[in-house]
A and B are shown apart, each in its own frame.
Chain A
């Protein structure tokens, strides 16, 4: 997020939500948005599904799935046509505006209305509202990124914000909400194939040399494999051994059968996990992991806020995860001697300019710190891009409409869309007795029109089949979803939704197109 969550409480005048369902995926953020809307902030929800916040919204743009880019282009078209763009911001802080203008030129209200299913009137109203509200924030999450055009979607959100100067100020920004508790931190720490901690590129000699000196070894300069490439390489026999920490790609990644196949082909797999997960079943060695309550450390939230995780009880498997990983270093002949996670943090911070000013003592004293925080006397950075973008000038990266990789057809007439529900969190909450005693099975949403055609009522089971696999699920009949759509979560082992999802990947990030694929339904 470019802005702190507290801007929702204190600053924002317009919240523009696209492809995000915060009251379920990021409940506290969602609750704050609901209060802001009730206090009088304007709320625009762009979502094919009737999410809870629709009830608080001034405008609900119920766009057809996969038409985010035409919608955003259409809004920009109107803003430019009406002269509502922020000329000063564009002039001083951006480049490539002419290309943006040329591309959105063809996204006339009529054409966009046709593509998205949104009325021309609503397009005008929302475009004007967004452009003329001083403090407007765009929020998005998986509904935007989990498409074949995910990166393009994200860029289009940024284009809209830059066009109107809604960046770099309190209450004005672009806020992707990161899903998992520490997905921000995992990126920040360099658990990525192309960068060390703090996004320092592996290909830059000075960066590599700094790490070589600190770590006393020579380091590879070639960018590594992203997750989907790892599994593809395993299929091809190029990747032979893997270590998987605390993740269950068989359940959570798209096209599960492809992943199972890849894991089977490995010569050696180590899984470090709390539970015997679907993925761990393929391991040669399973290392038992400690939970958050058993480890010291830090998490970094979606607004780049570094906060402490504190050990409350002794590790149930006998040792904390950092100790286990350290032992792997040691047995591999690279001895390390950290006495605590604090020393690991300090080493990282000494190599990472954007985190250099953060340490455990400061977090203890100041509660939390938001990076970038380059020095010990730096207060941290709640709002990004004030006065200047990281890369200097903000680059408009316009995009044409890219239809989803797979759309319903005669054989697979339904569109499957996936998401989260409030009560569950990927793979751990099903192990909570309380939570699973109430929310114990997948309840996929289906429109009453379709339910009647299929002859099913709430609680009935259907078999969902895609070109890649099948899953059985219970049905909840509701007009929260449009006719022709089935909406499923991916939290339940008994209903492996990701056996169905698409193998189409965003070519830039490798993120799976979870949001849209074609399926057929049969009553069972």
Chain B
């Protein structure tokens, strides 16, 4: 049994397990506290301070994502002081931010944008020097624009805590502080394994999927949840679809096996479906050359030859090789076709696992 503590959040009495943070307790009570660096799948960092709340008897505004609850605690998540503090934090964050929402790939799915909208922050009284980092699009998968980085550290933690590649860390101090690769080299020259976990957790447009650049606004993208076609782990993800075309893969936190983690194949290998060498029509070999044919032609030739061979040599002269890459339903049909139609148990699949 977990011990529970009682506390008051926004005037309502709630219960939470001992050791929960204010943010978790609020979430359980259905109260959403704004957050930028907090991520439920990563270790808490307490860096951005956007999650500040007011706690009775505490003159400072503690960060809800790292402050544990106690019996009798009284929390206000939305007091005027809290709102004021959040505004200031956002103003500081955008002081050196490109404010490029018009063309930014992340617009519509950017937490910084969402919170600025919510708190009516459009420009910064602190506006000062801006970064002029070169955009890293050295690799085919990820675009890195550190000018849009808010140093939430989610990418660093994801790389270490989800994948364990330990490819990212912080460099420099103050204005020049950077979340980047060892030696600040481009991803392609680093030890990156291109799992894309950093992209999946980045709350802003600093890390985005290259395949989606210019392909559509986030709010126009339809997401179709499916299962990875590459290995037996069975990761789930969403195919991002725009105008009937797949433009990328997005993590789906409900994925039972992998949550938001994927590997390079699952996240970035999907584009084989649009390879120009895809076969699009049936082909029939005539005098040693393949010639395009209609489905009807192909099926009647198949029927004729399969029937002939079955007649002449018996059912066991047929064999089917099914596929460990195809669906269960397709495999069931191939098994049934061999047995019920061709009359043989000669059916197997490439068990080269």
Contacts and interface: CB of A to CB of B under 8 A. Distances in A.
Interface of A: 5-6, 25-29, 31, 34-35, 38, 56, 141-142, 145, 177-194, 196-197, 202, 211, 215, 217, 219-220, 222-227, 230, 233-234, 238-247, 249, 252-253, 267-268, 270, 273-276, 283-289, 291-295, 297-303, 305-314, 316-319, 321-322, 325-329, 331-334, 341, 344-345, 347-348, 367-368, 422-426, 428-429, 431-435, 437-438, 509, 511-512, 514
Contact of B232 (A179, A223, A347): A179
Q: Is the contact region of chain B dominated by helix, strand, or loop, or is it mixed?
A: mixed
Contacts of A238: 316-317
A388 to B, nearest CB: 26
10 contacts: A25-B231, A31-B195, A186-B323, A222-B345, A243-B337, A298-B327, A307-B234, A312-B224, A322-B333, A334-B340
Contacts of A185: 324, 327-328, 331
Given A242-B319, A247-B321, A428-B269, A253 B352 contact: yes
A182 B325 contact: yes
Given A245-B321, A297-B328, A331-B299, A325 B346 contact: no
B245 interface: yes
Given A182-B324, A309-B226, A327-B295, A224 B347 contact: yes
A191 B349 contact: yes
Interface stretch (B8-16, B18-26, B274-282): B274-282
Interface string B303-322: 10111011001011111111
Given A28-B263, A367-B254, A247 B340 contact: no
Given A244-B320, A312-B239, A312-B241, 6 more contacts: A193-B345, A243-B319, A246-B326, A286-B284, A318-B281, A422-B263
B330 interface: yes
B172 interface: no
B275 A181 contact: no
B195 to A, nearest CB: 7
B352 A179 contact: yes
Contacts of B244: 313-314
B136 interface: no
B340 A285 contact: no
Contact of B235 (A28, A268, A291, A325): A28
B351 A241 contact: no
B279 A293 contact: no
B325 to A, nearest CB: 5
Contacts of B334: 191, 243, 245, 325
A297 B323 CA distance: 14
B300 A275 contact: no
Nearest to A227: B348
Nearest to B281: A288
A26 B318 contact: no
Contacts of B194: 423
B44 to A, nearest CB: 16
Given A239-B318, A284-B284, A288-B280, A197 B332 contact: yes
B327 A328 contact: no
A8 B123 CA distance: 47
A31 B1 CA distance: 31
A305 B234 contact: yes
Contact of B279 (A179, A289, A311, A347): A289
B226 A310 contact: yes
Contacts of A27: 193, 195, 231, 233, 263-265
Centre residue among B229, B231, B262 by max chain A CB count within 10 A: B231
Interface of B: 139-141, 161-164, 188, 193-195, 210-211, 224-236, 239, 241, 244-246, 254, 256-258, 261-265, 268-273, 275, 277-285, 290, 293, 295, 298-303, 305-307, 309-310, 313, 315-353
A268 B140 contact: no
B335 A197 contact: yes
B318 to A, nearest CB: 5
Contact of B234 (A194, A252, A301, A310): A301
Nearest to B161: A35
B285 A283 contact: yes
Nearest to B197: A31
A270 B332 contact: no
B188 to A, nearest CB: 8
B279 A273 contact: yes
A227 B295 contact: no
Nearest to A181: B229
- A-B pairs, top 9 by smallest CB distance, nearest first, are A301-B234, A297-B327, A224-B345, A179-B353, A27-B263, A246-B323, A434-B140, A191-B322, A288-B279
A509 B352 CA distance: 11
B344 to A, nearest CB: 6
B329 A202 contact: no
A294 B313 CA distance: 37
A189 B10 CA distance: 55
A185 B210 CA distance: 33
Contacts of A308: 225-227
Centre residue among B268, B319, B343 by max chain A CB count within 10 A: B319
Contact of A224 (B193, B295, B348): B348
B233 A301 contact: yes
Nearest to A202: B345
Contacts of A334: 340-341
Contacts of A288: 278-283
Contacts of B309: 240-241, 267-268
B352 A252 contact: yes
B349 A192 contact: yes
Contacts of A301: 227, 232-234, 257
A30 B325 CA distance: 21
A431 B347 contact: no
Contacts of A434: 140-141, 210-211, 268-269, 271
Contacts of A6: 257
Contacts of B350: 180, 227, 247, 249, 252-253
